[in-house]
């Protein structure tokens, strides 16, 4: 990406979109793509997503503010902050600290995340990258065994631990968009950590099924009793070590984590891990910087959809899928249509083909994000889709003359961990925050009350293929490619209409796209959009959530040539829709979250 295009993106505000006069070229290109062009709605006549007559069991509604998070205690902490006059960022920080405690298997201060922020006053969209970075000791061959094969069991112990970035990222976002004092935001989590919280059913299930957790020195005694029996749902967990860690960060900021005793403890835990000990130094922790990245935005029908760019592939792929589908009338097909599922699946395969070769940490590899989202390129990709015949495995496209084609790196594993939360505050500011320690319980290493991530396993284990370096190979200081896709949607006046995201490894891309299409094209309410059965094509089989209503489409999809694979599809979509009259929130029925507002 050139410097000037980076600058253009940094200054991006959805308020300056769409101006049909100023974006004549864009409008002309979009007109080629289909009947629904971006400038269809003049400023001032922005679309209304309002559905009248919500069913009694419809979304949670609120007038002032709302938070949707993966655990009731986290959402409650966020709502209290909103009630105290806190901003969306303030509430997100408080909720995320509680998630570190009560949903430790998914996300926390030992990991990283991506945060998207919309400032209602200025109309600016800011995107904060708190993705873990590889320590200086990392190298492209770190995940190969003694005979040059990808290592087995690399996700446990010191080797997969990336330098955590969550706190530095939240601190940066708080400096720019917080209102309450930093230290106040930690008090709900500190109190809960001291007083204890009941283990949820989901946490209990995951404790019982996590390989390598029982034998982990600190985590074993926290999650299991003295006889090695997993602690059950309802048992009260107290975490005084985490209370102390959070108190230190509350007083001294993220430096308390990245320097001094906590940093030393992290480095020691990585170096002395019983499995895969590795080298992470205090300098690695000290050097970590959260980064502001340019947001990726694409007009989709009458909306503008903004996602997170590289090092996440989430925004690029989600926007590519939408852009490819721009010329297909999904609204007319509707949610019961196997043809719609076919089209979305085909667009997914094309986007994943590009993702495999082009997306990695942009500070190390030139990522042709502009080209991948160019409407003409997307129209070309769309022309490869036929209405009723599956195209099979797709090849990557050529999104511009300078795009460097790397050998493919698909992520095979589709995790069920990670957590997403969405917030809209009383001023109309919005946050979409996806945070992760990667697989459930991350590296299994617990230090000072929190779990360390195993995020470096998101790098390609194979550094070279076909005689060329893989874009997403490991390297010192590099951030592994992610699929996290926190997303904000805007209307024709630049007002935020939706905040959403999900956990789920590479399937996140499919989960988020499905929810966006369900809400924007099919006009399902947010609860229905989130609950709609999951399906995704990661450039292979068409994965369909088993035991859902999609089963009845399987014969038709197979007749189109799709290989259909049933999956468990545990998304964790937490979304808010901003309608004309209310905030409407929904949490994913597949998890334990809740939407709370006033
Ligand atoms: N660790 C999940 C992701 O970054 O996509």
- Whether the per-residue pLDDT at 17 is higher than 80: the answer is no
Q: For position 401, what pLDDT does the model report?
A: 73
- Whether the per-residue pLDDT at 344 is higher than 70: the answer is yes
List pLDDT tens digits, range 179-200.
Answer: 999 999 999 999 999 999 999 9
Tokens representing 368 are 């042709």
| Centre of ligand 1 from the C-alpha of residue 538, in Å | 15
Residue with the bigger pLDDT between 37 and 166: it is 166
Q: Cα separations (Å) of 352 from 131, 357, 411, 485, 540?
A: 21, 9, 10, 14, 9
- Whether the per-residue pLDDT at 497 is higher than 50: the answer is yes
Q: For position 569, what pLDDT does the model report?
A: 78
Asked if residue 537 lies in contact with residue 528, where contact means CB atoms within 8 angstroms, the answer is no
- Look-up of token digits 């590899």: 365
Query: For the whole model, what pTM was predicted?
Result: 0.92
- Which residue's alpha carbon is at the smallest distance from atom 4 of ligand 1? 482
Q: Return the biggest CA–CA distance within the chain.
A: 71
Q: For position 405, what pLDDT does the model report?
A: 78
List pLDDT tens digits, range 378-390.
Answer: 999 999 999 889 9
Q: For position 142, what pLDDT does the model report?
A: 97
Helices 240-252 and 187-195, packing angle to 10 deg = 160
Ligand 1 site-directed mutation target among 165, 458, 570, most atoms within 8 Å of CB: 458
Q: Which 3 state secondary structure label does DSSP give 533?
A: coil
pLDDT band at 403 (very low <50, low <70, confident <90, very high): confident
- Whether the per-residue pLDDT at 357 is higher than 50: the answer is yes
- Whether the per-residue pLDDT at 282 is higher than 60: the answer is yes
Tokens representing 37 are 């062009």
- Look-up of token digits 């974006």: 23
List pLDDT tens digits, range 198-247.
Answer: 999 999 999 999 988 999 989 999 999 999 999 999 999 999 999 999 99
Residue with the bigger pLDDT between 24 and 427: it is 427
Which protein residues touch ligand 1 with a CB less than 6 Å away? 415, 418, 436, 438, 455, 458, 482-484, 505
Q: What is the mean pLDDT of the chain?
A: 90
Those residues with Cβ within 8 angstroms of residue 227's Cβ, 6 or more apart along the chain or in another chain: none
- Whether the per-residue pLDDT at 73 is higher than 80: the answer is yes
Antiparallel, parallel or unpaired: β 197-198 and 236-237: antiparallel
**What is d(CA 524, CA 77) in angstroms, rounded to the nearest whole number?**
29
Q: For position 466, what pLDDT does the model report?
A: 86
| Centre of ligand 1 from the C-alpha of residue 313, in Å | 9
Asked if residue 144 lies in contact with residue 461, where contact means CB atoms within 8 angstroms, the answer is yes
**Which is it for the CA torsion 36, 39, 45, 49, positive or negative?**
positive
Active site residue 418: yes
Determine how many CB atoms are found less than 10 A away from the CB of residue 94. 28
Determine how many CB atoms are found less than 10 A away from the CB of residue 278. 18
**What is d(CA 423, CA 440) in angstroms, rounded to the nearest whole number?**
24
pLDDT band at 64 (very low <50, low <70, confident <90, very high): very high
3-state secondary structure 37-106: CHHHCCCCCCCCCCCCCCCCCCCEEECCCEEEECCHHHHHHHHHHHHCCCCHHHHHHHHHHHHHHHCCCC
| Centre of ligand 1 from the C-alpha of residue 474, in Å | 15
């Amino acid at each position: 990406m050139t410097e000037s295009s980076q600058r253009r993106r940094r200054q991006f505000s959805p308020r300056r979109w769409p101006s049909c006069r100023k974006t004549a070229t864009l409008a002309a290109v979009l007109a080629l793509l289909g009947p629904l062009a971006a400038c269809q709605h003049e400023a001032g006549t922005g679309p209304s997503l309002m559905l009248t007559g919500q069913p009694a069991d419809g979304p949670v509604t609120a007038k002032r503010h709302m938070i949707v998070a993966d655990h009731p205690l986290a959402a409650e902490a966020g709502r209290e902050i909103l009630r105290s006059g806190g901003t969306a960022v303030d509430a997100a920080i408080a909720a995320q600290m509680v998630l570190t405690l009560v949903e430790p298997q998914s996300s926390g201060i030992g990991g990283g995340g991506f945060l998207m922020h919309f400032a209602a006053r200025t109309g600016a969209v800011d995107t904060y990258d708190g993705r873990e970075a590889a320590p200086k000791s990392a190298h492209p061959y770190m995940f190969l065994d003694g005979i040059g094969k990808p290592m087995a069991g690399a996700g446990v112990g010191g080797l997969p631990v990336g330098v955590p970035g969550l706190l530095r990222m939240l601190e940066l976002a708080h400096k720019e968009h917080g209102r309450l004092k930093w230290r106040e935001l930690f008090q709900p989590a500190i109190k809960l950590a001291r007083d204890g919280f009941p283990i949820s059913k989901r946490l209990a299930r995951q404790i019982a099924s996590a390989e390598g957790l029982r034998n982990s020195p600190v985590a074993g005694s926290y999650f299991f009793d003295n006889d090695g029996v997993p602690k059950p749902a309802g048992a009260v967990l107290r975490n005084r070590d985490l209370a102390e860690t959070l108190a230190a960060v509350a007083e001294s900021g993220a430096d308390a984590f990245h320097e001094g005793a906590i940093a030393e403890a992290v480095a020691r835990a990585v170096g002395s891990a019983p499995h895969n000990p590795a080298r992470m130094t205090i300098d690695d922790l000290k050097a970590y910087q959260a980064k502001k990245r340019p947001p990726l935005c694409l007009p989709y029908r009458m909306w503008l959809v903004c996602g997170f760019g590289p090092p996440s592939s989430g925004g690029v792929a989600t926007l590519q899928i939408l852009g490819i589908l721009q010329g297909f009338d999904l609204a007319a097909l509707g949610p019961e249509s196997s043809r719609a599922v076919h089209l979305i699946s085909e667009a997914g395969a094309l986007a994943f083909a590009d993702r495999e070769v082009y997306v990695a940490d942009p500070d190390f590899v030139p990522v042709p994000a502009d080209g991948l989202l160019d409407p003409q390129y997307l129209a070309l990709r769309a022309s490869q889709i036929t209405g009723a015949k599956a195209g099979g495995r797709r090849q990557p496209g050529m999104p511009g003359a300078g795009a460097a084609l790397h050998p493919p790196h698909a992520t095979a594993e589709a995790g069920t961990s990670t957590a997403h939360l969405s917030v809209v505050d009383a001023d109309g500011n919005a946050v979409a925050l996806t945070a992760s320690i990667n697989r459930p319980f991350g590296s299994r290493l617990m230090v000072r009350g929190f779990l360390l991530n195993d995020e470096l396993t998101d790098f390609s284990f194979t550094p070279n293929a076909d005689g060329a370096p893989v874009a997403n190979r490991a390297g010192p200081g590099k951030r592994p490619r992610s699929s996290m896709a926190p997303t904000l949607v805007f209307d024709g006046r630049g007002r935020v209409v939706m905040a959403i995201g999900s956990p789920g490894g590479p399937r996140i891309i499919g989960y988020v796209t499905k929810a966006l299409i369900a809400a924007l094209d099919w006009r399902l309410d947010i609860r229905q959009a989130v609950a709609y059965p999951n399906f995704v094509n990661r450039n292979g089989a068409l994965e369909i959530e088993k035991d859902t209503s999609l089963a009845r489409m399987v014969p038709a999809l197979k007749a189109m040539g799709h290989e259909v694979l049933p999956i468990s599809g545990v998304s964790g979509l937490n979304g808010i829709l901003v309608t004309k009259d209310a905030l409407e929130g929904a949490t994913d029925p597949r998890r334990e979250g809740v939407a709370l507002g006033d």
